């Protein structure tokens, strides 16, 4: 097992391959704060690389052998393949090399209290909710987020306590590298099928993760999700369950109501509470209640005052790119979202559709050929809650071109299912079409985890 002690400074100079990623940039900033010499490379400039540069981190745009300048350790992201020039150079030079997942697991072990938030959906929302509460409660944790939160001016907070809070993503079985003192499992769904064989493979990986937890740990599990049930018998520490109108759950949510804006209020019952506790959210969507309850439980288990939790849940506003309003065009509100999986898209569209005033247009940028191909039928059934769908070119991300799948395949299936759908190759074409259609009180959502926020800004401009 790879070990990393923050205080020892055994690895004085650390280079990151793929430093612009949301997780990699956060880890790099944290280590820079602790006094390590940091450098890193990425394919293109971004807000994340520019922020690191402003903090004194040496950034290389493009990945070449000459970027490797005798570091003590190299950390590479999951998107980096074995033929990467920097990775090859590092191995030839005998430099220690670890993946992001392995390094994050080692970093977490430096903290007495480490919180890992996992699940196919809702990780960033739940983690950011916990972050807001812990910061207001003066816990001052170190935080790594998968999105940008206004309260910490970005995706990372360099804390000064024994607490660390991070998302724990299951991609490429990275969760098997983590040994947190508190693990939160929000849900388990079919995703990352470029790596996993099927849902059973994903569940088995989560079971392996649960086996990492020791007797003093706490596992907070959503027992409304049937895919989470097999995990329970493999947990050695304390099991804490939650659900909606589920009397078997340790924390049971009931009496859910929504105000005129779609913001939910709900009651949570638990033997751990002195009385039933009511909470209200300022974000929309029933699915966000699960995220909120997981955050409430995590903070309450760390003895945060219930009124502090309640206040922060009411004040919480979404991360950037989570149903974020970018602006208006001809009186039409333009939002963007990170949702890129059929379940996420369904939940978001349903929440927005319930409170629309005019027509509702969704522009979807599919993310990766493998996900689009393997979940094509699910995507074809995910867009019923909007009036019209525009599908743009697939965002390849880490993958090579695959001629066996195209955005038009999705459009054909959507049309067959009775959905008004069109394909536009470029953002410029999609922008022009949307601008020609919308009017006052309409709503546009651009969604995907590539760069659909860029399109939203183009529509507004």
Q: Which residues carry a binding-site annotation for ATP?
A: 119-125
Show binding-site residues: 119-125
Q: C-alpha angle 431/435/436, rounded to 5°?
A: 120
Rounded-to-10 torsion of CA 123, 131, 51, 366: 20
Strands 163-167 and 142-149: parallel
The count of other CB atoms within 10 Å of the CB of residue 132 is 24
Contact indicator for 300, 334 with CB cutoff of 8 Å: no
Q: Which of 301, 64, 33, 70 is nearest to 182 (CA)?
A: 301
Residues in the chain: 461
The count of other CB atoms within 10 Å of the CB of residue 80 is 20
Beta bridge mates, 266? 279
Inter-helix orientation angle 22-33/100-108, to 10°: 40
Contact indicator for 342, 426 with CB cutoff of 8 Å: no
Task: Give every CB contact of residue 171 below 8 A, 6+ residues apart in sequence.
Answer: 78, 192, 195
Contact indicator for 368, 194 with CB cutoff of 8 Å: yes
The CA distance from 31 to 186, in Å, is: 29
User: Which tokens hold the place of 35?
Assistant: 């006094």
Q: Where are the beta strands (DSSP E) in 264-331?
A: 264-269, 277-280, 324-329
Taking phi first (over 0 means left), then psi (-120 to 50 degrees means alpha), and beta for anything else, what does residue 96 get?
beta
């Amino acid at each position: 097992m790879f070990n990393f002690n923050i205080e020892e400074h055994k690895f004085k100079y650390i280079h990151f391959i793929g430093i612009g990623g949301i997780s990699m940039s956060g880890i790099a900033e944290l280590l820079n704060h602790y006094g390590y010499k940091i450098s890193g490379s990425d394919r293109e400039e971004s807000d994340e690389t520019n922020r690191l540069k402003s903090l004194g981190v040496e950034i290389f745009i493009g990945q070449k052998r000459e970027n490797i300048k005798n570091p003590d350790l190299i950390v590479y992201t999951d998107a980096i393949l074995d033929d990467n020039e920097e990775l090859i150079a590092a191995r030839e030079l005998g430099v220690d090399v670890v993946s992001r997942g392995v390094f994050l697991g080692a970093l977490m072990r430096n903290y007495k209290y480490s919180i890992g938030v996992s699940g196919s959906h809702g990780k960033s929302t739940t983690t950011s909710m916990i972050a807001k509460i812990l910061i207001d409660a003066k816990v001052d944790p170190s935080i790594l987020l998968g999105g940008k939160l206004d309260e910490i001016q970005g995706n990372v907070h360099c804390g000064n306590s024994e607490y660390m809070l991070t998302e724990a993503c299951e991609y490429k079985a990275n969760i098997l590298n983590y040994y947190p003192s508190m693990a939160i499992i929000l849900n388990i769904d079919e995703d990352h099928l470029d790596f996993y064989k099927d849902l059973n493979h994903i569940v088995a990986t989560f079971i392996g993760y649960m086996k990492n937890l020791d007797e003093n740990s706490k596992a907070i599990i959503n027992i409304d999700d049937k895919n989470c049930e097999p995990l329970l018998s493999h947990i050695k520490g304390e099991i804490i369950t939650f659900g909606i109108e589920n009397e078997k759950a340790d924390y049971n949510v009931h009496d859910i109501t929504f105000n005129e804006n779609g913001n939910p209020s709900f009651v949570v019952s638990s033997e751990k509470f002195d009385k039933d506790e009511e909470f209200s959210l300022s974000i929309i969507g029933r699915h966000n209640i699960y995220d909120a309850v997981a955050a409430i439980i995590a903070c309450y288990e760390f003895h945060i005052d219930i009124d502090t939790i309640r206040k922060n849940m009411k004040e919480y506003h979404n991360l950037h790119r989570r149903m974020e309003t970018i602006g208006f065009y001809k009186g039409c509100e333009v939002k963007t979202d990170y949702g890129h999986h059929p379940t996420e898209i369904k939940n978001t569209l349903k929440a927005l559709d319930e409170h629309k005033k005019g027509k509702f247009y969704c522009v979807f940028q599919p993310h990766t050929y493998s996900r689009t191909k393997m979940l094509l039928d699910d995507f074809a059934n995910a867009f019923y809650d909007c009036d019209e769908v525009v599908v743009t070119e697939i965002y390849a991300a880490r993958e090579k071109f695959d001629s066996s799948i195209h955005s038009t395949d999705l459009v054909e299936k959507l049309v067959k299912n009775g959905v008004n759908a069109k394909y536009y190759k470029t953002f410029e074409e999609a922008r022009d079409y949307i601008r020609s259609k919308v009017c006052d009180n309409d709503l546009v959502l651009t969604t995907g985890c590539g760069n659909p926020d860029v399109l939203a800004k183009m529509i507004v401009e």
